[in-house]
Amino acid sequence: MENIRVYSHSACLSKDNGEGHPERKERLESILDSIRRIDDLSIELKEAPKAQYKDINLVHPQSYLDEIFEMIPSIGLVGVEKEPYADTLLCPDSKEAILRACGSGISASKDIMDGSFKRIFCAVRPPGHHAETSRVNGFCFLNNAAVAARYLQSSYDIKKIAIIDFDVHHGNGTQEIFYDDSSVLYASIHQHPLFPGTGLESETGVGNIFNAPIEAGTSSEEFLRIFNEKILVNVESFEPEVIIISAGFDAHKRDPLATINLNSEDYFTMTNDIVEIANRHSKGRVISFLEGGYDLQALSESIQSHFKGLSA
């Protein structure tokens, strides 16, 4: 049974999106409380450091960062996107939260490469998989998973990385960043049609993009079948040296933003199957990032199932 390191930071709880916003601090509080209640696994919590600009710039240009941070208000909230889609918001505490969330993946990358840990979970917000190279989108500012992947490639002799995304929304940002890069496989299962509207099976990049759009109302059994046949089979064939997970828990049947019918236990099944591939091809190295998931009970239950899978 593998030990798990968790990166998080209090700054990620300070990020405010206003009353009634689904991406709220209580999401992370629920997850951290649930992790602390796991008593049959070896889990170490550690503070996430701030990401350095030079590392973020492996994905996002400095001009993009400057534009975001210059918009941060001294009081209140500022919507980054134009109306009517101004739901990606900046508050006075946003900068540190954004940098800590991204920094978690860089530290996780160091840990898995120096052998300290094989399984790491980044319990951070804001999330990242909708953030494109130079575009804020869907509650996301920096693509935490993409920065970690580029950091691994730039700092170590890592030639093939797989990013598996089981958030119920397609990770348009991750797809855009790696669309023409055969060294990174991106595989996503997601409800369609649903925000952000991307993720058709015809979107294949240079043969490195594998999308599995599923219909509203898809059952747990059908979801897991498709996940195996359209996601895991391709990851297995790719033989990645590191696996990164964009772990959204909003395909859960309780989630208010989508209509897929996963149970909390299904996150063990998916995670365990991913870990088995990692054990065969990636020296067991897995970094998982919190993405979506907006029902607190579902988050609390699903994260325990995810950790049980990670520890295998």
Q: pLDDT tens digit string along 278-304?
A: 999 999 999 999 999 999 999 999 999
The pLDDT, as a whole number, for residue 82 is 73
- Closest among 108, 114, 121, 102 to 54, alpha carbons compared: 102
Decide which of 3.50.50.60, 3.40.50.300, 3.40.50.2030, 3.40.800.20 is the CATH code for 4-310: 3.40.800.20
84 pLDDT above the threshold of 70 = no
What type of residue sits at position 39? Answer: D
Q: At what angle do helices 94-114 and 144-155 cross, to 10 degrees?
A: 40
Residue 42 has pLDDT above 70, yes or no: yes
Residues 203-219 pLDDT 10s: 999 999 999 999 999 99
Q: What is the pLDDT of residues 126-135, one digit of tens each?
A: 999 999 999 9
pLDDT value of residue 233: 98
**What amino acid positions are annotated as catalytic residues?**
130
Summarize pLDDT for 144-172 with one digit per residue, the tens: 999 999 999 999 999 999 999 999 999 99
